[in-house]
Amino acid sequence: MDKSSTLLVHYDKGTPAVANEIKEALEGNDVEAKVDAMKKAIMLLLNGETIPHLFITIIRYVLPSEDHTIQKLLLLYLELIEKTDSKGKVLPEMILICQNLRNNLMHPNEYIRGVTLRFLCRLKETEIVEPLTPSVLQNLEHRHPYVRRNAILAVMSIYKLPNGEQLFVDAPEMIEKALSTEQDPSAKRNAFLMLFTCAEDRAVNYLLSNVDKVSEWNESLQMVVLELIRSVCKTKPAQKGKYIKIIISLLSATSSAVIYECAGTLVSLSSAPTAIRAAANTYCQLLQSQSDNNVKLILLDRLNELKSLHRDIMVELIIDVLRALSSPNLDIRRKTLDISLDLITHHNINEVVQMLKKEVVKTQSGELEKNGEYRQMLIQAIHACAVKFPEVASTVVHLLMDFLGDSNVASALDVVVFVREIIETNPKLRVSIITRLLDTFYQIRAGKVCPCALWIIGEYCLSLSEVESGISTIKQCLGELPFYSVSEESEPTETSKKIQPTSSAMVSSRKPVILADGTYATQSAASETTFSSPTVVQGLLTSGNLRALLLTGDFFLGAVVACTLTKLVLRLEEVQSSKTEVNKTATQALLIMVSMLQLGQSPASPHPIDNDSYERIALCIKLLCHRNDELKKIWLESCRQSFVKMISEKQLREMEELKAKTQTTHAQPDDLIDFFHLKSRKGMSQIELEDQVQDDLKRATGEFTKDENDANKLNRILQLTGFSDPVYAEAYVTVHHYDIALEVTVINRTKETLQNLCLELATMGDLKLVERPQNYSLAPETSMQIKANIKVSSTETGVIFGNIVYETSNVMERNVVVLNDIHIDIMDYISPAICSEVAFRTMWAEFEWENKVAVNTTIQNGREFLEHIIKSTNMKCLTAPSALEGECGFLAANLYAKSVFGEDALVNVSIEKQTDGTLSGYIRIRSKTQGIALSLGDKITLKQKGSSS
């Protein structure tokens, strides 16, 4: 069996040393050669070689050396060699080294004394240590602190040995005496640690008698004090009030590590508002003072934990948390915004929005390369604020509209979606938003932003002046007609020479895209790039954005332009009394639509117009030619009603989610009322009183006695061997995110003692065993528990397999019992999560791993099948319930989940009901890593049959 090692040695790979060469070098007089030979001997020992014949050579030629390096290497060698025989008795030749160790402990050089004392800390053989105890005690009073601090550690290690208390009967008393007079910080820390480990009561007495001086102690000693406080409060919770005062006093320490530990200890020990407030303030101060990004992320994690447990206190510190936005790191900024958005109230909303607006303005400087991405995060945060508190929308909407022409398309898209929602939910802002939008529309260069902006113009231009301005703006952005001139076709070379401007615009590509309902459609997707204008498809390019985008083949945008013009003409008919003006405008709109169709069918277009866009534009032409009241009502009212319904459903879902959260975190209506005046104070401070009240509350609500459900515990027990096997084994598996703890119960069912019984485990997948298995002896018909820890590094279905090996007295060969495999379920690592439609589509396009699972189920109802998949995969359905209502024979939905490792899992369910009643279709899983896509696919394949499987 492998032994534990206390050494970590670096060495360069090369030819292994030969024992004879080492022996010759050790016997020589060259000091450097001896040092090199000792290093080689140590390396051989670390690699499993025994080289017993070297021991006497080392005793004869190395032991007498006065060189410090050789003496240090000698101690490392002695630490590694086998000091006991097979029965556990100390080898007789070990007596030879005792005299040398005693001489070292009395050596005039303090370094030799110190390293020898450190060596004794790692000795486990009482017979070797016993004759050295008087020399160790003498070193407690040595003049040099290096010797004293190592002597204290040696006393602690010897005292912890099986018979250590008999070797040092009054060790705690001596160390306590040394502690009271010691001046060296490290020696003082070691002495206090020894008392804490071996005589806790003495450590507590010393701490309480020096309460006023704790804040002046050294950082390392303060850390041990905090460890002692946590230990004492766990065993004696009634006394934690006086210790909390010590922790609060330590919050003013100079060391950041001590302050951080103090805050963590306060949160773990007390729920008193004063204590939580002090801890939260400490985390916020550290967030400002620490420059390391990893430290900042850890502090934000701590603040996030406090937010979930003590939201009311964290609300007070929202501005302090937001100061972390000064960090240039995007992960820190994202986490800061996530925490802050959950802490917004009516009292602080104006301050928060003001701060976010300042940050948005800062991003215009363009100093940092990721300013666009950061601006997008800020816009989304402001959007969330405005949805929660509509009264702040007026202060931010006009600022954000300046970014409609942002070069970062995602950022501009967030702005236009925000404007679309605000204009509906804040009717008072409608006029100012429309006016601003029409003024800035020409700045919009992104093919994905224009359709949404055009929809807003078509729906919310209501007065005569607004409608006329809307039509005029669109005409200006389209430029002069036609888009495609037949006469120019005959002279392509001339025109191409005349007009060859290069501009930054959108290059179009036709590819399948995922729509809002999760289905695929062919769409002309425009992406921003620098391009040379078409040589044949010309017109005057002096006009704006819409023309440039149409000339690159973005006919989806053309269809949206047609729909917007149709709505504006229909509304003009309502608000304009002059029929002549209406007919004139309608004619101009028809001319534009016909020109777009002509452009789409011309051979010079980058690609022909797609059928969807063609039919849409043709429908608009028919409507303007044959207007009637019924169609007019659909175009002018029904579209807006659908949007209003979508917004109200979104708000309703958010309210339901908020209610679900508040039910679990907030107090109940019949919550406990504290009558402080009726409580016995007994000279307690305010924080002690608060803490006692919180403890009473926890006790009353049963929080102290929450145990895992026994029935649930039984479900997690797995049988590893059969009932007829000589050794029966079963495992209880506990998954703690990054760790899997196995508690294996092993029962000896034979009448013989099983010797060298070993549980050998191996793993498949991203699982890793933490420690080596140990050997045990198991008496007849008895049982024992063996624990094993396994580390998990990614979200993937893993398998643990292995066997139990043992020996019996009758048979010399080893017996093996093969164990059943333990499958680690992916469901233990993923949890439902929420993301926006835009984020879902972006990730869907980016992720390279896709697993396509064909639907094969006995369930005949599409909605029921979807619910079954959601339950089986532990995912969140992002598709609105209203979109899933009704019976049309088709169903498409998007599901989303996040793993504990931060990985995203995307699922799209697309199913169709066949004529015979069965369901067919596909479930597509996409992720950044292969493991999660395959594991989730296997899970769905296994579970999709139906509730019976």
First to last CA, the chain: 44
Locate tokens 């036609």: which residue? 482
Locate tokens 């766990």: which residue? 234
CA-CA-CA-CA dihedral for 55, 60, 63, 64, to nearest 10: 180
735 burial (CB, 10 Å; 0-12 / 13-18 / 19+) is middle
- Residues forming beta bridges with residue 506, ordered by sequence position: 528
pLDDT at 852: 92
**What's the residue count for the chain?**
949
- Residues forming beta bridges with residue 817, ordered by sequence position: 804
pLDDT at 281: 93
pLDDT band (50, 70, 90) for residue 497: very low
- Three-state secondary-structure class, residue 285: helix
Indicate if the pLDDT at residue 443 is higher than 90.
no
| DSSP assignment letter at 439 | H
Helix 409-425 with 837-846: angle, nearest 10 deg: 160
- Three-state secondary-structure class, residue 172: helix
Pairing between β-strand 919-927 and β-strand 775-778 as defined by DSSP bridges: unpaired
Measured between alpha carbons, how far is 469 from 625 in angstroms, rounded to an integer? 23
- Three-state secondary-structure class, residue 52: coil
State percent of the chain over pLDDT 90: 17
Measured between alpha carbons, how far is 117 from 101 in angstroms, rounded to an integer? 9
pLDDT at 702: 46
The region of weakest confidence among 139-143, 229-233, 248-252, 663-667 is: 663-667
Please state, in angstroms and as integers, the Cα–Cα distance from residue 609 to each residue in 523, 553, 596, following that order.
Answer: 10, 7, 9
**Whether the Cβ atoms of residue 732 and residue 743 lie closer than 8 Å to each other:** yes
State percent of the chain over pLDDT 70: 84
How far is C-alpha 877 from the chain's CA centre?
21
Structure token pair of residue 288? 């400002």
The helix (H) or strand (E) run that includes residue 806 is strand 798-807
pLDDT at 308: 85
φ/ψ of residue 501, rounded to 5: -75, 145
Structure token pair of residue 936? 């989730």
Please state, in angstroms and as integers, the Cα–Cα distance from residue 449 to each residue in 452, 526, 804, following that order.
Answer: 6, 11, 64
**Whether the Cβ atoms of residue 795 and residue 932 lie closer than 8 Å to each other:** yes
pLDDT at 454: 93
User: In which region does residue 516 sit, left (phi positive, over 0), alpha (psi from -120 to 50) or beta (all else)?
Assistant: alpha
- Three-state secondary-structure class, residue 287: helix
pLDDT band (50, 70, 90) for residue 697: low
* Listed residue (303, 239, 270, 274) closest to 697, CA to CA: 270
Query: In one letter, which amino acid is 944?
Result: Q
For residues 517-522, average pLDDT: 54
Counting Cα atoms < 13 Å in the Cβ hemisphere of 423 gives 28
- Contact partners, residue 627, CB within 8 Å, separation at least 6: 570, 573
Strongest mean pLDDT among 481-485, 614-618, 786-790: 614-618
pLDDT at 502: 39
How far is C-alpha 394 from the chain's CA centre?
35
Please state, in angstroms and as integers, the Cα–Cα distance from residue 665 to each residue in 181, 275, 478, 699, following that order.
Answer: 51, 19, 55, 17
CA-CA-CA-CA dihedral for 175, 180, 181, 183, to nearest 10: 100
Q: Over the stretch 417-440, which tens digit does the pLDDT of each residue have? A: 889 988 988 888 889 999 999 998
The region of weakest confidence among 276-290, 375-389, 432-446, 496-510 is: 496-510
Indicate if the pLDDT at residue 527 is higher than 60.
no
Indicate if the pLDDT at residue 537 is higher than 60.
no
pLDDT at 924: 93
pLDDT band (50, 70, 90) for residue 930: confident
Counting Cα atoms < 13 Å in the Cβ hemisphere of 858 gives 7
Higher per-residue pLDDT: 938 or 562? 562
Indicate if the pLDDT at residue 54 is higher than 70.
yes
Measured between alpha carbons, how far is 244 from 126 in angstroms, rounded to an integer? 41
- Three-state secondary-structure class, residue 299: helix
pLDDT band (50, 70, 90) for residue 728: very high
The region of weakest confidence among 90-99, 224-233, 360-369 is: 360-369
How far is C-alpha 384 from the chain's CA centre?
22
φ/ψ of residue 554, rounded to 5: -85, 80
Locate tokens 């113009």: which residue? 457
φ/ψ of residue 672, rounded to 5: -70, 135
pLDDT at 562: 94
Q: Over the stretch 765-789, which tens digit does the pLDDT of each residue have? A: 778 887 777 788 888 889 999 888 8
pLDDT at 737: 65
φ/ψ of residue 224, rounded to 5: -70, -35
Structure token pair of residue 2? 């492998």
Measured between alpha carbons, how far is 822 from 820 in angstroms, rounded to an integer? 7
Indicate if the pLDDT at residue 218 is higher than 90.
no
Higher per-residue pLDDT: 828 or 646? 646
Measured between alpha carbons, how far is 419 from 379 in angstroms, rounded to an integer? 11
**Whether the Cβ atoms of residue 379 and residue 400 lie closer than 8 Å to each other:** yes
Q: Over the stretch 731-763, which tens digit does the pLDDT of each residue have? A: 988 877 677 888 899 999 988 888 888 888 888
Measured between alpha carbons, how far is 65 from 53 in angstroms, rounded to an integer? 20
Query: In one letter, which amino acid is 727?
Result: V
Q: Is the dihedral of CA 186, 190, 192, 193 positive or negative?
A: positive
Indicate if the pLDDT at residue 465 is higher than 70.
yes
Please state, in angstroms and as integers, the Cα–Cα distance from residue 433 to each residue in 393, 398, 437, 447, 545, following that order.
Answer: 11, 7, 6, 21, 20
Measured between alpha carbons, how far is 441 from 431 in angstroms, rounded to an integer? 15
User: Rounded to a whole number, what is the largest CA-CA distance in the chain?
Assistant: 120
pLDDT band (50, 70, 90) for residue 533: very low
How far is C-alpha 502 from the chain's CA centre?
44
Predicted TM-score (pTM) of this structure? 0.70
Measured between alpha carbons, how far is 927 from 920 in angstroms, rounded to an integer? 23
pLDDT at 69: 87
pLDDT band (50, 70, 90) for residue 366: low
CA-CA-CA-CA dihedral for 144, 148, 149, 151, to nearest 10: 140
35 burial (CB, 10 Å; 0-12 / 13-18 / 19+) is middle
Mean pLDDT across the chain: 81
Q: Over the stretch 625-672, which tens digit does the pLDDT of each residue have? A: 988 888 888 888 888 888 888 888 888 877 777 776 665 444 456 555
